[in-house]
Structure 1
């Protein structure tokens, strides 16, 4: 015998049988499917349930109405409404992409599970609302953007979505419900159930996918964020380098450049191992030097960690000269001064003993796989 575990109270609020106690069991409850009165059965031998006081209604109608109400309630009371469906990533630039070897696990066409929060684009859920001559079990719209294309949520118990509704181009999520618990499960498309909306293929009710998505965009172009090194001249004419995170993607790396850049190096962040001794800044400077730029930085000087006195700097101490009342200075090796306390580009540019360490540059460059970064040089006669 079919047991009903949900009903509505006199105010139309949905009630689960577990919310009914001996104290409130005598209140009036009504069937979600047919609207007729029900009584709460709270016996000790059988599972608690609601029972029609008169002849029982259609289980199909009950499930259909229950599915609509529970999903609508979930949409309206949750801060997010996540749905997931399958698609594929297709990159038209794959064959010419210099970074594709570092993306080898990101296949040319890979099946992806897209996760979308519908609450980001919709804030209203209506029952039995129309659009383009079709009626939806639930229609999602946005109150501030009525022109936005809606999404239909269709509850499928025994009657699946009709071909003409699918062919309309409306985005439809069809949710198969065989039991009360089905209306509570996450809205996730089965991997094996990915179907194209055209041509329409009829499915056997017994084997049909629990959840299907129609007219959703299935093809996406992958865009992976890149970190970028930029070489530029500051207000004093000094060549400097700086790194930018997540400013460009693999799709626009060839066209989007910093207006001040003379030379750029872009790299996938995952291409720099955690144990890598050198980072993007070091790679960018080393490559710029190899390109002929006269960029100077103490770190790239042959004398940086030498014991020569000319590679040390005078820094103030906490002691005060009793004669002048000013802080006393002491000579400290350059490499022992924290980077945040010294402008090594300015120091190197004014140093008469500066000598580029080409061996270091070669070592830095060789530590990176050339297939993991992208170089760009501005067409400019004078660096």
Structure 2
């Protein structure tokens, strides 16, 4: 036996069982099959409506009908009373204070509220729109654009509808509680039971954080006039000072990635060595190899000098340094 939380009264208004007064003479009907409902508000079982007589009404079709009516009634009420019905969505924010050195940072998204009723002032249920019949259609009388609202109870929207380019909000509905968001007159872009198709939100770019105030660490690779190469993690204010160093000839700044600094260091040394940059580092020397007895103190071995190397920048002072031709 179905146990519905919602029914409709004689005026066609959607009624929650919690709002029904005990022993009221008002009649209630099923939103799906239109049969009489009996409110059950006992002391032991959860309050609900049940069908007065046996019926072939099923819960899935009831949920689908309930979803459409609840959305329609709530949105239409907002239109009539000039109340907002919000879509809360995130805006991606990019800090471009360091764009001059090819660095852009993605910040925490900004949450925005958009009142759908300001643009979409027409609502209809299962009204044909070109090749499709959406559960709910929101339309703009001024601009002509539409949004489809779909409720996935037993199946999701067809692929050709999703690929049509029409903006679609699709909600997974498994119980009446999945519709509680409508009571708040707000749809959230990140709510767990919602999918949004063909929506495009503009990103925001600005100098949100000045270089001098940024506490984020960045990776900076520097090559100096004597051929020394260093890679470090520095704040942007420290990087600005480093880039003014008259002894350095190359700077490459990047956002720190999962790649270790050591791996990044070796890749960058090889990159600039291939370019012909004056870089005298053991990673770029034909005589060096990885120390087979590797430890943290002596990671490299020099075949020419027959000794272990603790600092690969020793190549700046090494008379045997010879840049490898193949890296």
TM class, shorter-length: 0.5 to 0.7
Is 1:166 aligned with 2:162? yes
Confirm or deny: 8 A CA contact 1:34 1:61 kept in the other structure. Answer: no
Map of 1:131-280 to 2, 5 A cutoff?
A: 131-143=129-141, 145=142, 147-185=143-181, 186-190=186-190, 210-218=193-201, 220-224=202-206
Map of 1:108-119 to 2, 5 A cutoff?
A: 115-119=113-117
CA distance in 1 between partners of 2:97 and 2:210 (Å):
21
> 1:120/1:139 Cα in 2 relative to 1: closer, same or farther (>3 Å)?
same
CA distance in 2 between partners of 1:2 and 1:189 (Å):
32
Counterpart in the other structure of 2:229: none
TM, length-normalised to structure 1? 0.47
CA distance in 2 between partners of 1:272 and 1:117 (Å):
38
Map of 1:272-351 to 2, 5 A cutoff?
A: none
Deviation, 1:19, is 1.9
> 1:272/1:58 Cα in 2 relative to 1: closer, same or farther (>3 Å)?
same
Counterpart in the other structure of 1:97: 99
CA distance in 2 between partners of 1:5 and 1:66 (Å):
10
1:70-112 per-residue CA deviation (whole Å, 9 max, x = no partner) reads 1222222342222234675579xx59835998x85x45xx766
Counterpart in the other structure of 1:77: 77
Deviation, 1:183, is 0.9
1:106-157 per-residue CA deviation (whole Å, 9 max, x = no partner) reads 45xx7665543212211222111121221111111134x1x42100110111
Counterpart in the other structure of 1:240: none
Counterpart in the other structure of 1:343: none
Give the 3-state SS of the residue equivalent to 2:154 in structure 1.
coil
Counterpart in the other structure of 1:50: 49
Q: How many residues align?
A: 208
In the alignment, structure 2 segments of 5+ residues that lack a partner are: 214-236, 241-327
CA distance in 2 between partners of 1:112 and 1:160 (Å):
30
**Could you say what the CA RMSD is over the residues aligned between the two structures, in angstroms?**
3.4
Which aligned runs of 4 or more in structure 1 are off by greater than 4 angstroms?
85-91, 98-101, 110-115, 268-273
Deviation, 1:30, is 0.8
Confirm or deny: 8 A CA contact 1:64 1:157 kept in the other structure. Answer: yes
Confirm or deny: 8 A CA contact 2:17 2:47 kept in the other structure. Answer: yes
CA distance in 1 between partners of 2:157 and 2:187 (Å):
17
